Chain A
Amino acid sequence: MTSNMILIGASGTKAARAALDVTAQNIANASTAGYVRRSVTLSELSVQDSGGSFGDISQFGVRVTGIVRNADTFLQSEVRRTSSDASRANTLVSGLTNVSNAVESSGVYDSLVNFQSALTQLTSTPTDSALRANALEYGRTLAQSFNVASNSLQSAVTGMQTGAADGVSKLNDLANSLAKLNLTIGTDTDPASNSATLLDQRDNILKQMADIANITTTFNANNTVTVQLGGSSGPALVNNITASSVTMTTATSGAISFSVGSLPATLSGGTLAGYQQGIAAGLDAQSELDAQAVDFMDIINTAQTAGVDLNGTTGTAMFSGTGAADMAISLTSGSQIAAAPAGSAASSMNASNVTDMLRTMSTEKTSGQLNDLIFKLNSAVSSNTTTRDTLETIASNASTTLASQAGVDLDTEAANLVRYQQAFQASGKVIQVANTLFDQLLNL
């Protein structure tokens, strides 16, 4: 009977030791990302009617049945879904901000207004060579501003393309790691092994994948996971121990698309979707800027050929180029500005051709359209920022919910530390008591 007591005490100390180990592990990983709080499940060891007579008490103490990982798969999938949305919105906002800044900080709008102002001043004294040179220089500044806007837009788009390519290569690395992990998890059948750590790693990889692209996950009975890119009908990225490779295709326009093998993947979340949408917005802005540059050049060049310059000869095109990127001034001297209407003599004080030029710019709302373009880009940033803030709040709520369910609370661990220490001491006392009882029997 006393030997039984010692064994029971010993099993108690073992269980308490295991619980203390787990508590220590939890405390150590309190701020480890993706760490799910472990707890020990204990069960009683007892046998009824074993070998002996009826009613004999056969108790053998306690045993550790396993280490439980307190993860809620629903909450985890919510975290993945919401963080996919949030990272898409975040990437899109920063892309759109770059696009908006590209046009706005190029100063193209101010340059256009200054050019108009210089032309207006020229109407006062069209023979003044200083005013003519001034108008020409503002024209040059305007052309350069269009160039800068176009280049900045281009580099914003290129930046997003690079970001997307980087995301794709990270996603492929993660898919390969997950396939290897699936192999390890599938072959791991020992419950007392480090399966909890493997599952943490698995969930961590899934979370990182979800940040890059929205994924659909299917968990198998042996804890391995199948990942599809995009929605539930998307192509398989990781199937058991096989990882497929995602490829990114850049069209001549600059737009990007994704596929797994020969199957196209439609993404609605993650940084990749954000880049895709941001690039589309950048290309739109680019083509609109080009259209406005062409419209503007048309107005000025048409007006130029309708008038005569300071020497009385018919004016030639002031601007050359096919869009915002290659727009340049083609006049070499201010005297070539065709200020006077056709048929005027050299050095005419008549500036009605410039007045007509200004009037056409005003009726075509040249500067208004440019202002509208900047407004449109700004509002895209603004409205998407609101969406992003909402999605980030949702994502942050989801991860807080998961964290409060699966994360480590140091106060709880502190209480557990005390509890299991007491359990250990109590079991020790049991052994001591058993020993004393044994000694008393011997000393009889």
Chain B
Amino acid sequence: MTSVSTSAFYDGAIYNLTKLRKQTEDLQTQISTGDKIVRSYDDPLAASQMRALQASETLAKADKSNTNMAKTRLTQTDSTLSEFSTIVIQLQSLATQAASSTLSTSDRAAVGAQISAYYNNLVNLANVKDTNGDALFAGQGTGAAYTLDASGNATYNGSSTAATMDLGPGLSVTTGVTGPEFLNFTSGGTSKDLLSVVKGLAAALQNPTSTADAITASQGALTDLSAGLEAITTTQTVVGARLAWVNTTTDMQTQMGTQRANLQSTIGGTDLTAAAAKLTQQMTVLEASQASFVKMANLSLFSILN
């Protein structure tokens, strides 16, 4: 017996129409939200991948902000180092003048006073602060990089190494240089530092024991200054290389971000064309089912009997 009871017919029709309607609504939601995954348990694997991608996105944002911070600090280091080299070049020309025997003692003392002023500038530059108010050349220390004693001699207070910053999984960069890394150098086989060389020169010119001594001091200082300048430019090259690395990292981050976005739209995005076509198909089926249901429901023997 193939006949279906009236209630079974209605129950079946309701079941099928509801199912079709739900499928149509799901498609509509996918199209209007642009997300293929409406509920994460519809496609657990894709939802899990989407969560992982979202997490990478969040962490990448932190990496990006760290990278920007590293870039700011390195750029500031670079430009401060340029200031240093400008001053050292000035000092070189002043020392050249002082080394000349034609200069009178008072003129040499005036040059010495100028060098002494530059010394103060160098100390100030060595104590320059970064955008967060921390000393730029104190490494991992946060106080002033150099402190002056009563007689004006500078002493380094920072840590021995500069801070390193993580730029992402497995990537890191040293975000600065410590003072001694570019202010200390070797000249004539002995270890010297730029600040004491400059201070010594100023003192030798301002209060010379003799003209000859002053000239010798100036000549010695010239050798030291050129070694010092070399130390600064070398360090500047290192900083430049680090900046280039940071820029490479930024490019990589941008690329990874694009890849992530692509992956996200592949895994979780709605294929609009396919979804729209499917919606049209689904609606045709739904409309046909509704129409045939109405026809079937009217097909009662009672409506013919009177």
Contacts and interface: CB of A to CB of B under 8 A. Distances in A.
A427 interface: no
A263 interface: no
Contacts of B45: 375, 379
B15 A404 contact: no
Chain B contact surface mostly: helix
Given A127-B142, A371-B52, A349 B134 contact: yes
Interface residues of B, number: 51
Contacts of B191: none
Contacts of B166: 120, 123, 355, 358
A109 B1 contact: no
B192 to A, nearest CB: 27
A382 B59 CA distance: 29
Interface in B1-38: 1-8, 10-12, 15
B193 interface: no
Contacts of A100: 40-41
Nearest to A408: B5
B165 interface: yes
Interface stretch (A49-57, A212-220, A412-420): A412-420
Interface residues of A, number: 61
A32 to B, nearest CB: 8
Task: Identify the interface centre among A128, A367, A375: most chain B CB within 10 Å of its CB.
Answer: A375
Contacts of A407: 4-8
A125 B132 contact: yes
A109 to B, nearest CB: 6
Contacts of B47: 374-375, 378
Given A349-B139, A382-B42, A410-B6, A362 B159 contact: no
B44 A350 contact: no
A119 to B, nearest CB: 8
Interface string B138-152: 111111000000000
A414 B66 CA distance: 82
A351 B175 CA distance: 12
A403 B41 contact: no
Contact of A410 (B1, B69, B301): B301
A400 B4 contact: yes
Given A97-B41, A109-B51, A414-B301, A400 B58 contact: no
Contact of B66 (A30, A124, A404): A124
Interface in B212-243: none
B169 interface: yes
A27 to B, nearest CB: 9
A408 B10 CA distance: 12
Interface string A29-72: 01100000100000000000000000000000000000000000
A130 to B, nearest CB: 10
Contact of A411 (B61, B65, B69, B300): B300
Contacts of B5: 30, 37, 403-404, 406-409
Which of B63, B65, B301, B302 has the most CB atoms of chain A within a 10 A radius of its CB?
Answer: B301
Given A120-B166, A375-B47, A412-B3, A349 B69 contact: no
A403 B4 contact: yes
B163 A382 contact: no
A371 B165 CA distance: 27
Nearest to B162: A349
B61 A374 contact: no
B288 interface: no
Contacts of A417: 305
Contacts of A410: 6, 300-302
A121 B10 contact: no
A316 interface: no
Contacts of B302: 410, 414
A313 interface: no
B55 interface: yes
Given A348-B159, A374-B51, A382-B42, 14 more contacts: A37-B5, A97-B41, A110-B58, A120-B62, A124-B70, A124-B165, A345-B141, A347-B141, A347-B142, A349-B141, A350-B163, A400-B8, A408-B6, A411-B3
Interface of B: 1-8, 10-12, 15, 40-45, 47-48, 51-52, 54-55, 58-59, 61-63, 65-66, 69-70, 132, 134, 138-143, 159, 163-166, 169, 300-302, 305
11 contacts: A97-B41, A118-B62, A120-B66, A123-B66, A124-B65, A349-B142, A350-B140, A355-B166, A378-B41, A378-B47, A418-B305
